[in-house]
Amino acid sequence: MVRIEWIFSNLRFDPAKPLLNVAVNTMLTEGTSILSASQIADQIDFYGAFLQVDYGYDHSQVTLYTLNKHLSSTLPVIKDILTDSIFPESELETFIRNQQQKLQVSLQKNDIVARRAFNKAIYGDTIYGLGADFDDYKTLFRDDMLWHFKQMYQPSNCTILIAGKVDKKALELLTISFGSDWINPTVEANTTQPELKAAYEHLYFIEKPAALQSAIRMGLPSITRTHPDFPALQVMNTVLGGYFGSRLMANIREDKGYTYGIGSGISSLKKGGALFIATEVGADVCKAAITEIEKEINLLKTELVSEDELSLVRNYMLGSLLGSLENVLSHADKFKNIYFSGLGYEYYDQYTQVIRSITAEEVLQMANKYLDLDKFYRVIVGKY
Amino acid sequence: MVKFNRFTLDNGLRVIVHEDHTTPMAVLNILYDVGARDEDPGQTGFAHLFEHLMFGGSVNIPQYDEPLQRVGGENNAFTSNDVTNYYITLPAANIETAFWLESDRMLSLAFSEKSLEVQRNVVIEEFKQRYLNQPYGDVWLRLRPLVYKKHPYQWATIGKEIKHIEDARIEDVKAFFKKHYNPQNAIMVVGGDINAEQVKQLAEKWFAPIPAGEKYHRSLPQEPEQQKERRETVTAKVPLNDVYIAFHMPGRLEEGYYEIDLVSDILSRGNSSRLHRTLVKDKQLFSEIHAYNMGSFDRGIFVIEGKPLENVTIETAEAAIWEELEKLKQQPVPANELTKVKNKTESTMVFSEMSLLDKAMNLAQFELLGDADWLNKETDKYLAITSEQIQKQAQAIFRKDNASTLIYLAEKVDLVSS
């Protein structure tokens, strides 16, 4: 089998028409001038293949999983949707109606509401900060989508990644469909994005009087993978909340029993990154949980990590890296991480080097440099 | 094709070895033949709570996670109504650490009061997070007792109520361990960049000294045939109405299981499936609709779940679902459509062989069902099914008197948007 990904940079975010990137991507399977939505589905499903569209903060993509023997039947469908999608009016209506219904369910989930509020605060009115609202769907029009599609889904804005049983035949078939006769239109894809601008307000409390649990999300803008500190910051993040044995899990779940799960993470995007902590805790212990989170952050900034804990985290991270290279698809995923950050393979050498050699002092420095509680954004959804 | 060796230790532990030298990793998976169905009706949720306690230290190893993370490993576990499954993945060079950890907790736990107290709280928070504090989160707490009146599938793995978890005592934990956690009730699969001979030696070294324990003989009350249609309507603080229709269906090893599993694909797999195409796209009655089967070992549940659009009445929505089911009963599935779902099943099997952990879990589950090699015969069983057989099973299952319908009616709540 092979997995083929067609990856496109999103077009510049337009606050007046915020949903274009996501809507165009999601509706790529909804019809072309020769294939209806159901014909596309039939063709893909009949050959036991899987076709996925995924919208991300920086890129949107189309992914095909197929047995090699069916490539010649499935590739032409992808070619068709990437060159000739027409976003039929009736399908657009269905899309909007169904998305609005799903949104109603999402907005009842505290963790989702917290994530939306947090992203909005950290990233401002940009593609990263977007949390679609009911009214945003009213700004979706077919003509805009067609224009957006034409600009974005063109070869000069596309990276194709093929992984799996990649043989001569597979590459030949891929070249037939996506080689020299896939032509760029005259208009260029504008993939620049406005600068991120974090909000002035740092505290957001969205009250849900009937909540049994409160969702907490807190953190601040941070560095991205291209920054030299990034691997060391990942070590610090792992100590804090990046694995099951982390400080946050050990204290807030395994000692206090306040939550089913708590973790911290770093999101590294093209225009900027964020470091965040997320959890859902018993509504009655929300205050106590936040106190404990802050206590753990302060500890990291004031006390050296013991050699025992640090060596454990080192080994865990190296094992995890090895585990993330389990099969050919995960190799391709690792490649994507560096490729789209403009980095080379030496990044992983450097990453393992840092993990092996990092000292407790350096972890402490990272905590002081990147965990300024005064700059933290705090979102609580539920009861406080 | 997943190749493997297998052997049984004198104490009854069944061991399966699957070599895969394309990965630098190894996996050690242990399946215990105990699930929520084996619980006392007055102490539900116990198998799952117990799973949490398996990480609270064993007789000679105070901390389970720490030494594993120290050798670059990761672990997790899940409890279903049928089984409890634990797995470790780690760099293959460190495989012996996994043997050491797993054998010690099969030998005996630390039974710490502190661990019990904390994990009771953690599981109560899990109960709230997944079942109570989510729109429609309590669906399985309602649907299971509607479908099952006698069989212990009538409660969810999380348990019937929080109180059962609050009430768990250390004596109960000890008794549960003694009853279910011993070599005779377990199947171990070791896979990855290891070799069979090495695994055999390690298994002897670490697991052979564990006493065989008592064999648990399962004898569960069987669910009597449903006699008439069942229905429950709840008005809840949910944003949209939601319709669930559940049917009793054959168990994992019973005749008709594969047919009904294919029916779920025909109805709901992919955008070309019948329910999506007819009810979401053509008739525009639902915003989303799904059909699935739970894969239960004993007689299971086939579920259809859909959220009607706001202008569609529950009656219309239900009638439209039944119309699709009637079609399955009255007309054989066309050859093309049958080929389509079979192709999908076949490619899914190929794709799942990409993952070492999936292979290990599947081998363990099939060995428990009867023979690990059934994993390799699975595709052929699906390919052999005919349209007539599907029609016959559809006729047997999709009857009103075999249906339990649960309706959520949306009570209008203030929407907080952000």
What are the pLDDT digits (tens) for B46-97? 999 999 999 999 999 999 999 999 999 999 999 999 999 999 999 999 999 9
Mutate to test the interface with B, among A46, A311, A318 (most CBs of B within 10 A): A46
Longest dimension (CA), chain A: 65
Model pLDDT, residue B413? 55
Q: Is the pLDDT of residue B375 over 80?
A: yes
Closest alpha carbon within chain B to A316: B72
Number of H helices, E strands in chain B: 15, 11
Q: Give me the DSSP letters along A276-340.
A: EEEEEEEGGGHHHHHHHHHHHHHHHHHSPPPHHHHHHHHHHHHHHHHHTTSSHHHHHHHHHHHHT
Model pLDDT, residue B418? 39
**Min CA distance, A307 vs chain B (Å)?**
12
Closest alpha carbon within chain B to A101: B287
**Min CA distance, A67 vs chain B (Å)?**
7
Helix (H/G/I), strand (E/B), else coil: B211: coil
Helix (H/G/I), strand (E/B), else coil: A64: strand
Distance CA B293, CA B247 (A): 10
Task: For residue B71, give the nearest of A353, A28, A315 by alpha carbon.
Answer: A315
Task: For residue B241, give the nearest of B407, B404, B405, B403 by alpha carbon.
Answer: B407
- Cβ pair B36, B208 in contact under 8 A: no
Select the more confidently predicted residue: A186 or A144.
Answer: A144
CA distances from B364 to A278, B76, B299 (A): 34, 16, 21
Per-residue pLDDT tens over the stretch A279-322: 999 999 999 999 999 999 999 999 999 999 999 999 999 999 99
Which of B39, B51, B318, B324 is the catalytic position? Answer: B51
- Cβ pair A316, A243 in contact under 8 A: yes
Q: Is the pLDDT of residue B306 over 80?
A: yes
Q: Is the pLDDT of residue B415 over 70?
A: no
Distance CA A229, CA A221 (A): 14
Give the helix/strand (H/E) hosting B125: helix B113-127
Distance of alpha carbon A376 from the chain centroid? 21
Domains of chain A: 2-177 (3.30.830.10), 203-382 (3.30.830.10)
CA distances from B255 to A71, B252, B263, B385 (A): 36, 9, 14, 12
Tokens 């400080």 found at: A247
Helices (DSSP H) in chain A: which residue ranges? 20-26, 37-46, 71-84, 89-106, 110-123, 142-152, 168-178, 230-241, 247-248, 286-302, 307-323, 328-339, 346-357, 360-370
Q: Is the pLDDT of residue B29 over 90?
A: yes
Measure the CA angle with vertex A352, ends A311 and A160; round to 5°.
140
B280/A98 Cβ within 8 A: yes
Beta bridge partners of A291: none
Distance CA A361, CA A351 (A): 18
Task: For residue A60, give the nearest of A158, A205, A151 by alpha carbon.
Answer: A158
Model pLDDT, residue A181? 87
Per-residue pLDDT tens over the stretch B166-198: 999 999 999 999 999 999 999 999 999 999 999
Query: What percentage of chain A exceeds 90 in pLDDT?
Result: 97
Per-residue pLDDT tens over the stretch B243-272: 999 999 999 999 999 999 999 999 999 999
Backbone torsions φ then ψ of B34, nearest 5 degrees: -150, 135
A37/B281 Cβ within 8 A: yes
Distance CA B264, CA B291 (A): 5
| Mean predicted confidence (pLDDT) in A231-236 | 98
Pairing of strands A377-382, A203-207: parallel
- Cβ pair B105, B54 in contact under 8 A: yes
Pairing of strands B74-79, B242-249: unpaired
Model pLDDT, residue A326? 85
Tokens coding A196: 């991120």
Per-residue pLDDT tens over the stretch A119-148: 999 999 999 999 999 999 999 999 999 999
Q: CB-based contact (8 Å) between A319 and chain B?
A: yes
